[in-house]
Amino acid sequence: MKVKEQLAIQYGVDSILLKKSYLDKLTELLQSDLDFHNQRSNYSSHNLHSFPAKFPPQLPKKFILELTTPQDIVLDPMAGSGTTVLEAFLANRKGIGFDIDPLAIKLAIIKTTIFNRKKLVEYARLIYSKAQNEIEYKSEYLDKVLKSHFDSRTAQFIDYWFLPEVQRELIALLNQIVKIKDEKIRSFFEVIFSSIIITKTGGVSLALDLAHTRPHRAKIIFDKKHKLLFGEEYLDQNKRRDYVTKTFRSPLEEFEKKFHTSINGLLEYDPARIDPEIRFCDSQQLQLPDCSVDLIVTSPPYASNAIDYMRAHKFSLVWLGYQVDNLTLKRKAYIGGELVSNFLFEELPDFSKEKVRLVSGIDRKRGNVLKRYYSEMTRALKEMYRVLRPGKAAIVVVGSSIMRGIDTETHKCLAEIGENLGFIVPRIGVRKLDRNKRMLPAGMTTDLNSQIQQRMHEEYVIGFYKASEPGPRGIL
């Protein structure tokens, strides 16, 4: 029996409402190789800035090319660094990217902007030489600027995470960047600036790893010639020396290097391309009309705050004018957050409810955190259903989480929630994560032997299909 007939029986839908060729294609795609290992993912501007749990560009590309045609509308309601939107742009589709993270929005916009390279090179030279001059001859002035630049809480954060000489170089670079009048060009250099701080290994900061929920601070710092700069007291007593040691990197040098590696990937002008729309918007309340989108490709956060975006992003956002306390407040709005008091929970279907019950049985608070996540995802999926055109699909990439020893089986729960909202789920694809490439959540890089850990190194690609009319189980 063909996919269409099987699904018609399974979901009790009139088979006329299912588009055969589209469903066959969707199912085939979900069955195909979705690992994309050994494939270059650093083409175009994809590698301008690292981003936790960014998916490989080949993933959205595959679905965009196969399931849409030029000028169609492709949405990513949790756009992150803009991988889907950039692929939509490259394929001459209209990309729409929403996020609530200020750094994510900035990155996605810059990655899909056409720049005049010659102009950027001129600006880069100017920034570099003027910053170098200030570092060499005006260090007292730079210290003064540093003192007046941050409120006291932000200054404490900066002092804890950045060596004084690094702070001086960073403020010298910023001093030049803020003078740029053209907003897009200024934003481009802010992104380069941010990219030397936010890397898997914490860039020029003292953080050892920004992918983890709680970054650790280096205790021992060497310069490039292996001369000890900082942390003599830890040298002898600390047996785990390698884990707390970092080599000093000059922001000025890193900035120059990063600029040169980034410039080649920038986009060329092509009249067929359609400017994307990228802005702040909560995925639980999409600012889009009903039935207006041809394809959604997205990857929501993990359950239970496994990747804390703001915790990593504030390392550069504090330099770009945000106050550390305000950023901490913003964290509460992220899907997968941990605050549950006064939270509006949704009624969950059976399997998801049972998962919450199991976790709650061990730890009530964690159970509520999981319930919060599934409630937020219910609202996000409901919105995806609303804005999708009938006969079209949403591709949702998720990983599972372990809460109090229980595998949340997020993919199964989200599939169930989606079906409950009227979606048809023809298949859940599986992809193996490339640990060398991804910034993964804490706990995902150790003990590869356990079954649960193995599952944590997989990701699930759920295909949600919206039939021409809501299925009988649909509640919309």
Ligand X SMILES: C[S@@+](CC[C@H](N)C(=O)[O-])C[C@H]1O[C@@H](n2cnc3c(N)ncnc32)[C@H](O)[C@@H]1O
Residue ranges that bind ligand X, judged by CB under 6 A: 51, 53-55, 78, 80-81, 83, 98-101, 104, 282-284, 299-301, 309, 333-335
Q: Which is nearer to ligand X, 8 or 48 (CB)?
A: 48
User: Which residues, 6+ apart, have CB-to-CB distance to 181 below 8 Å?
Assistant: none
Structure tokens at 216: 């650790």
* Contact criterion met (CB below 8 Å) for 79 and 278: yes
Q: Which is nearer to ligand X, 69 or 287 (CB)?
A: 287
Q: Which is nearer to ligand X, 29 or 103 (CB)?
A: 103
Compute the least distance from the CB of residue 166 to ligand X, in Å. Answer: 26
Q: Which is nearer to ligand X, 27 or 283 (CB)?
A: 283
> How far apart, in Å, do the first and last CA atoms of the chain sit?
29
Compute the least distance from the CB of residue 455 to ligand X, in Å. Answer: 18
The length of the chain is 476
H runs (alpha helix) in 338-363: 350-362
Rounded Cα gap, residues 382 and 466, in angstroms: 11
H or E stretch at 464: strand 458-466
Structure tokens at 158: 């900066």
Compute the least distance from the CB of residue 86 to ligand X, in Å. Answer: 9
Q: In degrees, to the nearest 5, what angle opens at C-alpha 114 toward C-alphas 202 and 46?
A: 35
**Cβ-closest residue to ligand X?**
80
Q: Which is nearer to ligand X, 75 or 218 (CB)?
A: 75
Q: Which is nearer to ligand X, 177 or 395 (CB)?
A: 395
Q: Which is nearer to ligand X, 83 or 360 (CB)?
A: 83
Q: Is 229 exposed, middle or buried (0-12, 13-18, 19+ CB in 10 A)?
A: middle
Compute the least distance from the CB of residue 95 to ligand X, in Å. Answer: 12
Compute the least distance from the CB of residue 351 to ligand X, in Å. Answer: 23
Structure tokens at 134: 């200030």
CA 325 to chain centre: 22
DSSP E strands, 269-328: 277-280, 293-298
Rounded Cα gap, residues 116 and 198, in angstroms: 25
Compute the least distance from the CB of residue 48 to ligand X, in Å. Answer: 11
Q: What is the DSSP letter of 152?
A: H
Compute the least distance from the CB of residue 461 to ligand X, in Å. Answer: 12
Q: Which is nearer to ligand X, 53 or 211 (CB)?
A: 53
CA-to-CA dists, residue 249 to 143, 190, 465, angstroms: 19, 18, 49
CA atoms within 13 A on the CB side of 48: 30
Compute the least distance from the CB of residue 334 to ligand X, in Å. Answer: 4
Compute the least distance from the CB of residue 99 to ligand X, in Å. Answer: 4
Torsion, CA 254, CA 257, CA 261, CA 267, rounded to 10:
80
Q: Which is nearer to ligand X, 124 or 398 (CB)?
A: 398
H runs (alpha helix) in 114-151: 117-137, 139-149
